[in-house]
Chain A
Amino acid sequence: MARRRLKLIFGPDMVKEPVIYQLGKQFELVTNIRRADVSKDQGWVLLEVIGEPDELDRGVEYLESRGVKVEPAEGDLVG
């Protein structure tokens, strides 16, 4: 099992879609929302996702295919 901390970023068309529910339903993944800031037309959710590494990759692919931007929860740390 692996654990990823993700930041999901939603645009105007996506805010109302239940993608996090689908993520837990369609994949062998456990999701856990830690923080969120969602308004009418955009927003982000900090999400913990637990599962096998391959399944995690498939879950992220699914989110991206639905038009959600997926980033590491802590942003980019490169320097």
Chain B
Amino acid sequence: MAKLLGLRCRECGAEYELQATHVCEMCFGPLDVVYDQAALKKKVSRQRIEQGPASMWRYRDLLPVEDDVPVVTLGEGFTPLVKADRLGSELGLRNLYLKNDSMNPTNSFKDRVVSVAISWARAHGFETIACASTGNLANAVAAYSARAGLECFVFIPVDLEPQKVVSISVFDPNVVAVRGNYDEVNRLCSQLLESTPWAFCNINIRPFYAEGSKTLTFETIEQLGWKLPDEIIIPIASGCQFVRHRQAIRELIDYGLVRDDRVPALTGAQALGCAPVYNAFKSDTPERVLPVKPNTIARSIAIGNPSDGIYVNRIALETGGVVEAVTEDEIVAAMRLLARTEGIFTETAGGVTIGVLAKLARAGRWKGDEVVVAYVTGHGLKTADVLASVDGHARRVEIEPTLKSFREQVNI
């Protein structure tokens, strides 16, 4: 029995056969994968999951890849969930956890979505994988295409950070550097779809791709001993993963994997330099997300016209979460705070998440005993340049190779 029934429009409910398409023909709403829930309910159990591999593929039953399809994997997922006591004590939180998704094969949570997308695409006869990217996605797509032995085209803005270009290029994809900003890269790729038989991970095969994000939440809840936390802080670019985390919680409850059904507050984090979702959340009309021109160091989440923006606000309101935003200085300060207290080096997107966590904690959002989880979605080496420019070596001294010099210069 096939576990996947088709695609369904999130807006009008129109149903489609499984295929590489992401927009409803009737109303242009987004399409989601529909599963045979009755069959899954009988099959899925904690025990079955716990016996699976130590990767996100232990949740294979809940992903849009049929059982007989060989997956394209580099061992993504099942990243550490660490209890953050030192950061927690600075913020007055006794039960703070960090899901460290920078520990993925290409050092961001994108490996989850790309592993699913390329597995699906290869099984459905696609020979070329492509994507429009702000960096992390292109990194994952290039690596997994190499792993799968498929042709790869990545479209990036011409001014992407050099260290990101290096870690994409090493996998030998076709890199198309577009003289334009992210919006223009996105637009070009949408138009290319009209005439190319390619699987664009985040465009035509997006319904399958997006599903991979759910595993971040599945794992977090499993690692918490199959208990739902009180709140989860999630960075928002397009809002794609945010929406999937709500879906993941619904599935955990529906399939009886967790006992209680108190849905955690889902809270979104943006950089003020690109905060279309936050702007709408704060306004009288949270469902009216107006595009902005991005200007922030948090480039991996700098999406000015987020496809899932209104759904983020709907979910934040429904679950009792909020959408908050931080300044550039707060982003850098949060990257340092996380590194100093917990030994985790995150990129600017992680700085946004931890910055929002700190801002909300200091504003008194929590009493102290709540279980709060923050998703750290990318590694610090991806954006190391932002630290180099700001007083990076406050505690550094230079000395002669003598004890005398050491004693003169260093106070111990």
Contact = CB atoms under 8 A, between A and B. Distances in A.
A54 interface: no
Q: A-B pairs with the 10 shortest C-beta distances? A: A75-B307, A79-B137, A76-B305, A73-B28, A46-B28, A77-B202, A78-B132, A76-B186, A76-B303, A78-B186
A75 B123 CA distance: 28
Contacts of A2: 194
A34 B134 contact: no
A52 B22 CA distance: 23
B203 to A, nearest CB: 6
A9 B290 contact: yes
Most buried by B among A9, A46, A78: A78
Most buried by B among A3, A75, A77: A77
Interface in A38-59: 42, 46, 48
A64 interface: no
Interface of B: 11, 22-23, 26-30, 110, 113, 131-134, 136-137, 182-183, 185-187, 190-191, 194, 202-203, 206, 237-238, 240, 288, 290-291, 303-309
A3 B240 CA distance: 25
A5 B110 CA distance: 27
B137 A76 contact: no
Given A37-B288, A71-B291, A77 B203 contact: yes
Contacts of A48: 28
A16 interface: no
B303 A78 contact: yes
16 contacts: A34-B26, A34-B28, A35-B11, A35-B29, A71-B183, A72-B187, A75-B238, A75-B307, A76-B183, A77-B132, A77-B202, A77-B206, A78-B134, A79-B110, A79-B113, A79-B238
Nearest to B307: A75
A78 B309 contact: no
Contacts of B110: 79
A35 B27 CA distance: 6
Contacts of B194: 2-3
Contacts of A69: 291
Nearest to A4: B191
A79 B290 contact: no
Most buried by B among A4, A5, A34, A75: A75
B303 to A, nearest CB: 5
A5 B132 contact: no
Interface in A6-41: 9, 34-35, 37
Contacts of A35: 11, 27-29
